[in-house]
Amino acid sequence: MPGTSTSVARGLDGVVAARTRLSHVDGDRGELIIGGYELKQLAGRVSFEEAAHLLWRGALPTRDELGRLRREFAAVRALPEQTLEVVRAAVAAPPIDALRMGCATSSLDLADPDDISPTADLEAAKRLTARFPTVVAAHARISEGKEPIAPRTDLPHAANFLYMLHGTEPDPIAARALDTYWVTVIDHGMNASTFAGRVIASTRSDMVSAVTGSIGALKGPLHGGAPGPVLDMLREIGSADRAEAWVRHELAAGRRIMGFGHRVYKVRDPRAEVLAQVVDAMAAARLEDRTLFHLARAVESTSLKVLDEVKPGRNLRTNVEFYTALVLQSLGLKPRSFVATFACGRVAGWCAHVIEQHAQDHLIRPQSEYVGPRGLKVN
């Protein structure tokens, strides 16, 4: 009724918008459950393909099912000519924009792009998940004045991406690190990009449209984040003894400390712990200079101490961006490609949510509270 005030949850904070079996985030306990498993049970222990199967099918695959899924991915990795033309045209665009454009063309070679049956959704999910790394690798090479490298059919998902990116036989250690990273970020509750995809799917729109919308939501800096600036921060600090003064100066200037604080987590992001272990293992296995890693650990410790002192009660803890930056740069990726590379892992989760939303078949249509004028007259 006119004049009646309603309770408004800004940003839908605290509003339960869906029931899902896919993932659960407990920000107070620092817990992330994916398909029934705590993250630490999956990351580094199952492959990305296995984690995708878990979300799409509800269970980890058998050996035969895993082999079949890998063959299916390999069969559709190559980009159609129209997609490659779009990627070439987007040479000057940010990689996440090129990925959004390339994703939208994926409906062009589907038998029936508007089919949202479970079978059609699963086929579209495989195609999108298989092609995202091909788009990102192709765009990275084209942006450097090089020709894209065609995908191989004999390599697992992560290893093939590194091959397409660098044109050399993939390092098993690097491939395992990337695989672990993609499992770590494969799904994360009802975040903005996942919700955007589910809203689109709830209209009975198709998988490609929904996932394209998810990329658009991920692009925003309040969601996709900025792991690249973490590297800039570490390089600017330079040494552990400069960390405290640098952090205090940034906070006094009203600037954010990159890699700290999360909308949901009030304790350390469990994904940060997984990725810290990945960086440590890579450095140890390769016998590389661990200066940057040790600096990151020191900056993390110092930042947490200063943040607790300067912003008490805010619970600004390490988030996934902090160690993502170290993992991805160690794989030879440029910071501008970080968000698009993240999407290569998250796409499997987006697809799972679209499948789930189509099965529920219920339109998402929240209300709004009108706060504008009333009774205006046209002269």
262 catalytically annotated: yes
Determine the Cα–Cα distance for residues 274 and 250; give it in Å rounded to an integer: 27
Task: Exactly one of 50, 273, 321, 356 is catalytic; name it.
Answer: 321
Task: Exactly one of 188, 262, 353, 358 is catalytic; name it.
Answer: 262
Residue at token pair 């491939």? 175
Phi-psi region of 287 (alpha: psi -120 to 50; beta: other; left: phi over 0): left
Q: Are 140 and 337 in contact (CB under 8 A)?
A: yes
Q: Which helix (H) or strand (E) holds 23?
A: strand 23-26
Q: Are 317 and 260 in contact (CB under 8 A)?
A: yes
Count CA within 13 A, CB hemisphere, residue 155. Answer: 21
Determine the Cα–Cα distance for residues 26 and 208; give it in Å rounded to an integer: 30
Residue 124's contacts (CB-CB under 8 Å, 6 or more residues apart) are: 106, 110, 206, 207, 208, 351
321 catalytically annotated: yes
| Residues identified as active-site | 262, 321
